[in-house]
Structure formats: structure tokens, C-alpha cells
Structure 1
């Protein structure tokens, strides 16, 4: 499967039925998801591996990982309604995924690779920390999306080093957020996001 085809397929998946602002539930754009997955796949961290998508939302990254040949995919999500959509998306894509309705802090399985698009921390400062901590606990390889801002980059570098990981910024991509909450003033917000690969020392 080509990256372009993967992006198109992921773009067609169903989004959040009732997005919650406190959970920063923004759909991961198909092209951004495909970019992260392709980078992980090219590094040998997807095909034949056990993968976890922490905070899977509607399952975009989890479905993509399975389509790229992951041996097993765990998809962890606290929001039951979002998980219901994720199950439907996986079924539609023919992707066999193990869904877990729980907070990421409760996930205990050791995996080869974690893939995730955690909250950016725009609504609640530090909202991405529990995701990074859990990822560092259960895997030696982590791929994650974060805001492309100097203060975030500095935090990521220090936080990962403090937890025994090297943070490698692989690329910066445009990330589109459609208006879905009352506080949104634009119909479409375009921001920049960094895709990272974290490796244990």
C-alpha cells in the first residue's frame, strides 16, 4: 500500500460523534496519520510488531497500523462513544484490533511500538504528559504528534531525556482542525505539528 492510498483511506473514516473539548478530541487528519505511520513503517516499527495506539479516539492510527501489517494492535480510549465509532471504522476497513475502554494510565501491556496523537494541552496544560509517561513505560519506540512551538519542543526534549528517551523530530506537518466547539472562531484552523520518534537510551 502506498502512503497516498493510506491517507485517502484513513480520511474516509468516521470522526467523533460528540467531540469533548476537555479531552481535546480532534480527528487526526488522514494525511497526518499516514505520514506518522509511514515513518514508523519505514523504520521497521509497524510490520510484524505489537503496536499500541494510546488515546485512539475513532481509531485512525490503529486502523492504519493494522493495514500496514502490524501483528497485533491495541487501541486504548477512555471515551466509550468514540470507541464505538473506532470499532465501526476498524470493521469497515477489515482491520482486526483489540479495543480497550480505559484511561491510558490503566494500560499495562508491553508492546514494540506506541503510536499516538495525544491532547496538545491547549485546554489543559500538561494533558500530553500521562500519554508520554505511559508510552515510555510500555515501549522502546514511540511515535507521537505535538504542537510545533518552541516551548513545546523544549519541553519534549527535556521530558523525554528525564525519562530515558531521545526525542527525534522527524518532520513538521500542517494539521487542520475544523470548527467543532463554541470557542472556535474560524471555520478551519490550520496549525503546524511535529511528528516525533522517541527511542529508549
Structure 2
């Protein structure tokens, strides 16, 4: 397989992602946390090797500061929609995009930033890639993300708590999608808010890759 014209290895991708800006004041009710660059790179590289990124139009639901969408751009995505309902994330998102567009001028023509609730996103894309809220603070919010993703793209790559895998599988089946791959990760959620009692917490998560079933 021909490698991206921008990035030559998963390790190189992880190094670049590790230099991006993160949430300055993460919001508890939005369940904002920064995904580890190594985990992000593994998810993105896996998608790239399965032809889910290069030349594709991609929606990054709940994009935050853009680590997944920016990684997709670096791996040759045709276009990325960065979608978030929190305008406070946009300054760092824009700085992160500027960081990579300074090196690759073509990147800036491939993005669209939308201040939207993902449920109001009306376009169709090839792929949705997302690290959504887990529905811990706002019940069923994770379900809303997956339901919307399954109505938006032929391929969905999304993260949720490992304990909620059966819920994601049920939503996928109800929307005529088949889960083709499940990857397990342990993510270390560091204390970023005064409400957090522990310095860090390890959470088992899964990243699913699902595709629409043929008619």
C-alpha cells in the first residue's frame, strides 16, 4: 500500500499528535478529555491501512481540539469536517490546524469547522471518526453520537467504554451496520478538574470499526 504523502509511519504520526494543543479548561458535563497520542495514532493508522482515510471525506464528531481529524488530514483525507458544539475548543483547534498547514499548505483547503450539535449535521460523508462522550454525565449522549454516525457515513470508527460495547453493537445492528473490528485500549484519564478525586484513572475502552451492511 502506498503510504501517505505526509506521514510515513504510525510512530511519526504519534509524535506529531503529541505536540498538538489540548483542552485548557475541560468541561465536566461535556466529558472533555484528551485522547493519548499513541492511542489516537494507532486508531488512525489502523483506519488508514484499511483504506478508510486516504482520499475520503471524514466527519470528526465532537472534535474537541482536533486530534483525530488532524491525524486524518495528515494521512491524506480528501476533506475533514470538524464538528463541536463548544466554541471554547476552537482557538486551540485552529492553532493545531495552523501548525500542520504551515508545513502542508494544501491542508487548509480540506477543512470545514462547524459549531453544531452533531445531531444537526446534515451532510453525508464516507467515514465518521469520533471520540464521543461516554454518556456518564449526560445519559444516552453516547448513543446519540453513534446513532447519528450510523446515519451519516458508510464506515464508522468510534470509541466508547468497554462496558458499553453491547450497547454499541445493538445500535449498529438496528441501523443495519456490521461491526467488523473491535480494538481494546486502556486510556489514562488524568485529573484535569477540581471535581476529580484521583490523580488519574485507567478506563478500559473499545474502538469499533463498523460498516453498512450491503442491501
Paired position in structure 1 for 2:3: none
Matches of 1:77 and 1:153 in 2, distance apart? 24
Query: Which of residues 117, 130, 142 in structure 2 aligns to 1:128?
Result: 142
RMSD: 1.2
Q: Which residue of the other structure, out of 96, 101, 109, is the alignment partner of 2:115?
A: 101
How far apart are 1:170 and its partner, in Å?
Answer: 2.6
Aligned to 1:181: 193
| Structure 1 portions without partners, runs of 5+ | none
Select which of 72, 75, 92 maps to 1:65: 72
Shift of 1:123: 1.6
Deviation for aligned residue 1:100: 0.7
Matches within 5 A, 1:40-189: 40-94=47-101, 95-96=107-108, 97-149=111-163, 152-189=164-201
Q: 4+ residue runs of structure 1 moved beyond 4 angstroms?
A: none
Structure 2, unaligned runs of 5 or more: 1-7, 102-106
How far has the Cα of 1:80 moved from its partner? 0.6
**How many Å apart are 1:131 and its aligned residue?**
1.1
Which residue of structure 1 lines up, in the alignment, with residue 209 of structure 2? 197
* Cα deviation 1:139-189 (Å, max 9, x = unaligned): 01010111112xx12111111101111123431112111101233122121
Contact kept? 2:177, 2:210, Cα under 8 Å: yes
Contact 2:58 2:129 in 1 (8 A): yes
Contact 1:121 1:127 in 2 (8 A): yes
Query: Scaled by the length of structure 1, what TM-score is found?
Result: 0.95
| TM-score in terms of structure 2 length | 0.89
Q: Are 2:34 and 1:20 aligned?
A: no
Instruction: Count matched residues.
Output: 199
Distance, in Å, in 2 between the alignment partners of 1:124 and 1:106 is 18
8 Å contact 1:143–1:198 — kept in the other structure? yes
Checking the alignment, whether the CA contact within 8 Å between 2:158 and 2:207 is kept in structure 1 is yes
Secondary structure of the corresponding residue to residue 69 of structure 1: coil
2:143–2:168 Cα contact (<8 Å) kept: no
